Amino acid sequence: MVNNSVQMLTGKAFEYSILKEFKEKLNTITNVEVVQNNALKIAKSCFNEFEKQEQGRYLLTASFAVNFLMDIEPRLSNDLGKKDILQLEILNDYQGQLGDIRDVLTIRILQKWEIGISAKNNHKAVKHSRLSNDIDFGGKWLGIQCSQVYFDEIGLIFTPLKEIKITSKSTQKWDTLKSKEDEVYVPILNAFKKELSRIYQTNPKQIASQLIKYLVGNKDFYKVIKSKNTLEIQAYNIYGTLNIPFQNIEPKFKTPQINLPDKIIGIALKENSKTTLIVEFNNDWKLSFRIHNASSRIEPSLKFDINLLKTPNSLFINKLSLPKEKIK
């Protein structure tokens, strides 16, 4: 395979599979147009990296997902006439940095309607955000800049790492450090915790909801998670734009609207962990922030894997069993 991460290849291949299945199933029902862009080219090239048998597996899984989405989104199949075109589009990764984590869009301009899908292959992470001397997570995530106290504190950790990178010409590895958890991870997590707490105090209700909006998504979407023999579909219907009828045609299943939090209950290191911070909200939201080095070589930045540990009971979740893969 080409020099791309396995996660990137599998994720993009799944995105393309979903778009392809949407087109195949809806092309004979309504007018469909695929938006030609660079994101589509990349996703298609990733899909083409796999053998035919594996491609078939991706398409089968996507087929199950699309069939279910057609049942709960009647506007996919129903139009107002020939001019009511259903556009299919794969978004570029830059949108995720702006808080729109959707990967595949289905759009009807005439109906002023769209739904988005976040396609995940074998992982449930909501974000992979970085921390460094140059990243103002407060301004980027929450619209409130981080303090100089925060940058001074993390600078005590990241500046020596930058010096190691320069003097070793980017060859020294993390495993040469005596204890990267105690020397790097814990102090960075503590600085992040204190700064997040400070920002939260400036406007608690807004910050709690804004943090979820940025990390989970600032637009409603369906999360489609592909595993080996299962498919999980979650409906993040926060703003009430999912699952709406078309004229007198109702969805076959209801996906209730879910509430954002307006309070952070606690921010603390996970018990017996030096890598993970837990942020708990009201309204049954809970997130984990696991920090790690993204590269084997020392560099002055770290990466978060951010996962949802708990979501409101009203979150619609449907799990489908897939035919088991044949043993080669």
**Angle, CA of 64, 20 and 83, to the nearest 5°:** 110
Question: 68-87 in b/e burial notation, b at 16+ Cβ within 10 A?
Answer: bbbebbbbbebbeeeebebe
Asked if residue 244 is part of any domain, the answer here is: yes
Per the structure, the count of domains in the chain is: 2
Asked if residue 327 is part of any domain, the answer here is: no
- For residues 146, 262, 235, 109, the Cα torsion angle rounded to the nearest 10 degrees is -70
Q: Which of 76, 89, 87, 3 is nearest to 43 (CA)?
A: 89
pLDDT value for 126: 78
- The verdict on 98 and 201 lying in the same domain is no
Question: In sequence order, what DSSP letters do the residues of 167-190 get, joined into one string?
Answer: HTTS--BGGGSS-HIIIIIHHHHH
| DSSP bridge pairs for 233 | 224, 318
Specify the 3-state DSSP secondary structure of 222. Answer: strand
- The verdict on 119 and 177 lying in the same domain is no
pLDDT value for 278: 97
pLDDT value for 127: 78
- The verdict on 192 and 284 lying in the same domain is yes
Eight-class DSSP state of 83: T
Residue 47 belongs to what domain range? 6-125+218-259+314-321
Asked if residue 281 is part of any domain, the answer here is: yes
pLDDT value for 3: 38
Asked if residue 299 is part of any domain, the answer here is: yes
- The verdict on 207 and 229 lying in the same domain is no
Packed helices 204-216 and 186-202: angle between N→C axes, nearest 10 degrees: 130
- The verdict on 207 and 224 lying in the same domain is no
pLDDT value for 93: 74
Packed helices 148-167 and 186-202: angle between N→C axes, nearest 10 degrees: 150
66: number of CA atoms within 13 Å, CB side? 26
Say what the pTM is: 0.85
E strand or H helix at 165? helix 148-167
**What pLDDT, in 10s, does the model give residues 190-217?**
999 999 999 999 999 999 999 999 888 8
How far, rounded to the nearest angstrom, does the alpha carbon of residue 96 sit from its chain's CA centroid? 8
Distance CA 317, CA 120 (A): 15
- The verdict on 120 and 138 lying in the same domain is no
pLDDT value for 328: 46
Residues of the chain below pLDDT 50:
1-4, 327-328
pLDDT value for 1: 38
